[in-house]
A = this chain, B = another copy of it.
């Protein structure tokens, strides 16, 4: 089957224009209609997902990926609940950001409006299809979705259901379209549809980010790669620091806001590193320590020497880098050099150092005495998230509904001309 990407983009842009003219209530109703359609089509969706999972298992997909691909009854139900919750979120569009009357009487304001057409490229996880669709519809945007080849059947069923929901509420079903082909040439074509697409969000690894930046002509928001740090200052409450490091590393190691490296102030290194080893090694964590860290542990606690690139790794596993530093400045220098600008935390009782860390660490989320695991749209109260941005333009950190909007300047006059 051949996909006419230009036509797909043109229809998305027309749908975005049409959605931008609807009211917020109409869009909330459309989101509820989508949830109802998904509920009505549950059997078809689950069967399509079963086929995807069976094919993936046959192809030898690993257990954790298979788990991300899998949609069972209860996961679909909670996905539908989440969709209904999006209908209740406050809609940022239409808000007046600021307004003033110029000396000549021109009434000038900035109004928040939908971005237009959002292209999202992702893998596995069919829940992303529904999340993005709901957030885009709520804010009056159109979405072009390109999931992984392993979810083709699931996404076909989901998008078909979403489109039925849109139609049933009087919305243009082209507001949510999927690229229904595993052929990568369509990804490259999507990345150059700058006439119709306003933003590209690649949810994947560094090579996908590079493809989008280097082959594309559309503004891209990248993120989701977190090399996250905790700096344990000399004044840290060590019991609390151990709790936080354990939580940040162990609670869910496979996600981007999990901890990758702990930086330990030299003054407390021998105390803290030995307690850390006693706490984490029994939980299955491998501690990759620099030479000073090995010394601090007395070389007898089962730490392993850190390899040359270990401090540049997003582990996504029960591994943790351990490095001894001379103090706050050295910790911030390490984060500057090795971090990915995602989430970093300082564990300290020193409020001056806390403030210096907040100001000096150039990351999307900076914490004091808290786990890095909080960097999440749901935890932050955004209701849901489109992605977690680690770039600085447009949106940073968890991207909720506001990140799907832009503004326009509106000038209402009575014949004003420029002097």
The residues of A with any CB-CB pair to B shorter than 8 Å are: 17, 20-21, 100, 102, 106, 108, 111, 113, 115-116, 194, 198-199, 210, 213-214, 216-217, 219-221, 237, 240, 243-244, 246-248, 251, 336, 354, 358-360, 362-371, 373-375, 379-381, 391-394, 396-398, 406-418
Q: Determine if B370 and A410 form an interchain contact, defined as CB atoms under 8 angstroms apart.
A: no
Copies of this chain per assembly: 2
Cβ 8 A contact of A369, one of B199, B381, B410, B413 = B413
Q: Determine if B366 and A409 form an interchain contact, defined as CB atoms under 8 angstroms apart.
A: yes
Residues of B within 8 A of A111 (CB): 358
A381 to B359, alpha carbons, bound, how many Å?
A: 29
Q: What would 11 more interface pairs be, CB under 8 Å, given A366-B409, A369-B415, A392-B406?
A: A20-B362, A102-B380, A198-B393, A213-B217, A214-B217, A240-B415, A243-B417, A244-B416, A244-B417, A367-B411, A368-B413
Residues of B within 8 A of A375 (CB): 409
Closest residue on chain B to residue A239 by CB atoms: B415
Q: Determine if A360 and B17 form an interchain contact, defined as CB atoms under 8 angstroms apart.
A: yes
Closest residue on chain B to residue A356 by CB atoms: B21
Decide yes or no: A21 and B359 within 8 Å by CB, A106-B370, A393-B199, A415-B244 being known contacts. yes
Q: Determine if A219 and B217 form an interchain contact, defined as CB atoms under 8 angstroms apart.
A: no
Q: Determine if A369 and B417 form an interchain contact, defined as CB atoms under 8 angstroms apart.
A: no
Residues of B within 8 A of A194 (CB): 213
Closest residue on chain B to residue A376 by CB atoms: B418
Decide yes or no: A408 and B363 within 8 Å by CB, A379-B102, A415-B237, A415-B243 being known contacts. yes
Q: Determine if A411 and B102 form an interchain contact, defined as CB atoms under 8 angstroms apart.
A: no
Closest residue on chain B to residue A245 by CB atoms: B417
Residues of B within 8 A of A417 (CB): 243-244, 246-248, 251, 370-371, 373
Residues of B within 8 A of A243 (CB): 415, 417
Closest residue on chain B to residue A412 by CB atoms: B368
Closest residue on chain B to residue A380 by CB atoms: B108
- Which of A115, A221, A375, A391 gathers the greatest number of chain B CB atoms within 10 Å? A391
Q: Determine if A392 and B198 form an interchain contact, defined as CB atoms under 8 angstroms apart.
A: yes
Cβ 8 A contact of A409, one of B113, B199, B393, B396 = B396
Closest residue on chain B to residue A347 by CB atoms: B415
A280 to B414, alpha carbons, bound, how many Å?
A: 21
Decide yes or no: A418 and B373 within 8 Å by CB, A354-B412, A412-B368 being known contacts. yes
Residues of B within 8 A of A336 (CB): 17
Report 15 cross-chain contacts, Cβ distance below 8 Å, ordered by A residue: A21-B360, A108-B380, A198-B391, A219-B392, A247-B417, A251-B418, A365-B409, A365-B410, A365-B411, A370-B411, A370-B414, A374-B411, A380-B409, A392-B406, A396-B406
Q: How far is the CB of A219 from chain B (nearest CB, A)?
A: 4
Q: How far is the CB of A366 from chain B (nearest CB, A)?
A: 6
Residues of B within 8 A of A358 (CB): 111, 410
Q: Determine if A411 and B368 form an interchain contact, defined as CB atoms under 8 angstroms apart.
A: yes
Q: How far is the CB of A55 from chain B (nearest CB, A)?
A: 34
Closest residue on chain B to residue A417 by CB atoms: B247
Cβ 8 A contact of A247, one of B210, B216, B418 = B418
Q: How far is the CB of A96 from chain B (nearest CB, A)?
A: 12
Decide yes or no: A393 and B406 within 8 Å by CB, A106-B374, A336-B17, A362-B116 being known contacts. yes
Residues of B within 8 A of A398 (CB): 409
Residues of B within 8 A of A116 (CB): 362, 392
Residues of B within 8 A of A214 (CB): 217
A367 to B102, alpha carbons, bound, how many Å?
A: 14
Q: How far is the CB of A45 from chain B (nearest CB, A)?
A: 30
Decide yes or no: A408 and B365 within 8 Å by CB, A217-B214, A393-B393, A394-B393 being known contacts. yes
Q: How far is the CB of A227 from chain B (nearest CB, A)?
A: 14
Q: How far is the CB of A11 from chain B (nearest CB, A)?
A: 14
Q: Determine if B362 and A17 form an interchain contact, defined as CB atoms under 8 angstroms apart.
A: yes
Closest residue on chain B to residue A257 by CB atoms: B418
Residues of B within 8 A of A368 (CB): 411-413
Q: Determine if B251 and A408 form an interchain contact, defined as CB atoms under 8 angstroms apart.
A: no
